[in-house]
Structure 1
């Protein structure tokens, strides 16, 4: 078993799929959590091991994670409520608890600008529309910070499905918003993965050329 094994939740699409590609490029042993077999063949063909489970069911996460030598969990999951419970909180809470039980040391959570103190970065209309999801993500962040795991929270701005620009950056500022391409978020997450400077940090992720307004921004150096 490798010294480093990544457990990735959300690998089938979006930012998670982009992270999966970069972990393969870096030759980091990775286990992807899937609910269905739709992305199984693609991920396995790239060298990623697949485990089936549902983040909303804690026991299935124990079965997928325990005994696999998982050192770090990365989660990009979120979505609409199921039976009144949002994946953004309940799914991530279960992943965090399973990571602790499995003996993992590290957890990287992809959240969103607008959560917690960064609510000041969004206009009132956006907060009204996104309020339920942002509140659930805030609870997940709080659960992670209290878990005892070494954590990094990455809060991207508006996500765009375009090729990487290389202009992504991280900042501790909580009063800025903008957008960023999904592959650039993935690169920043993977940069955090190998940087101890990211430990215990909550960081916004944006594209340097897609920041709203004209304010100067101090970038976080990994």
Structure 2
């Protein structure tokens, strides 16, 4: 069963028929995750489930939206799951909560704490960057324009993961007991990639010489300072100020496991999973376009916070006899 908004997609522009097509193979039900009654009546319907997968995330990271979705809506799902005696809750979180400086990160962490204390078996999955979050400049490179990076292009790194590999990892949480009652950072296969390395992959695939436009981080610092000051005078600037803070965060923080013992990010400590590579994804996008990977809030050259994400859980391989049946799971 999949529970979705009636107007789904990153921009809320997908109707029910489109959502059913995207989630074909699932019993798609529609309702409102901000209403516990809607979740109980329209998603659970008094039925028994072996697990709940929550892929809820705010679309823009604005404080009001972040707390309403990252914490409160997830809490609604958790409480209904507890009432329904669901034994296992799998949460799609984000690796960036390791160093929380933003409202949506604090909201995610607060729900993680509620989940860990709930008494349910939990699996908290913290992926690194998604492929599509790095695809904002594909068209620019294809048109011969420079690839934009902050600073020298070596400030950050990530191990990006595909939707398909992440979906398989989430499904693995059902029957792999090492993933139970655990926080699970996860990246894709291969080495960590800096913005420079990502740009070089794109230029190589496009058959063009590398051209980079380097934007000083000080530009972001100035924008953040101005908007924060303005927000003290004009409340309408609070959300734009938070958006600027989000942009600066992703321009300066790596999406890797943070090693507190050395106060630095560690590619070696960031687990790799799956087979899909960013290079193959870019090759597909250059040839066929995004094809179901619409950017939505990712349509800027720096990574924004995760938008509301539809995770397509592929049919899982045969599981041991003790495993819950994936067909009796609820995806939110």
Deviation at 1:50, TM superposition (A): 2.0
**C-alpha separation in 1, matches of 2:192 and 2:123:** 22
Partner of 1:195: 176
Deviation at 1:112, TM superposition (A): 0.4
Query: Following TM superposition, by how much is the alpha carbon of 1:114 offset from its aligned partner in structure 2, in angstroms?
Result: 2.0
Instruction: Please state which structure has a larger fraction of its residues in strand.
Output: 1
1:160·1:179 contact (CA, 8 Å) conserved in 2?
yes
After superposition, where does 1:25-174 map in structure 2 within 5 Å? 31-36=1-6, 38=14, 40-42=16-18, 44=20, 46-64=24-42, 65-79=44-58, 80=60, 85-115=67-97, 118-119=98-99, 128=101, 131-161=102-132
CA offset digits 1:97-138 (Å, max 9, x no partner): 1111112111000000122xx22xxxxxxx54xx11110100
Describe the shift of the 1:82–1:60 C-alpha distance in structure 2 as closer, same or farther (beyond 3 A).
farther
Rounded to whole Å, the distance in 2 between the matches of 1:152 and 1:214 is: 22
Report the aligned-residue RMSD.
Answer: 2.8
For structure 2, which runs of at least 5 residues remain unmatched after alignment?
A: 8-13, 134-156, 194-264, 274-332
Indicate conservation of the 8 Å contact 1:86/1:133, yes or no: no
What secondary structure is seen at the aligned counterpart in 2 of 1:216? coil
Change (3 A) 1:218 1:32: closer
CA contact under 8 A between 1:43 and 1:49: conserved in structure 2? Answer: no
**Could you tell me how far 1:210 is from its partner in structure 2?**
4.6
TM-score by length of 1: 0.65
Report what 2:268 is aligned to: 216
The alignment partner of 2:33 has SS state of coil
Shift of 1:52: 1.9
**Count of aligned pairs between the two proteins:** 167
Relative contact order (C-alpha < 8 Å, sep 6+): which is higher?
2
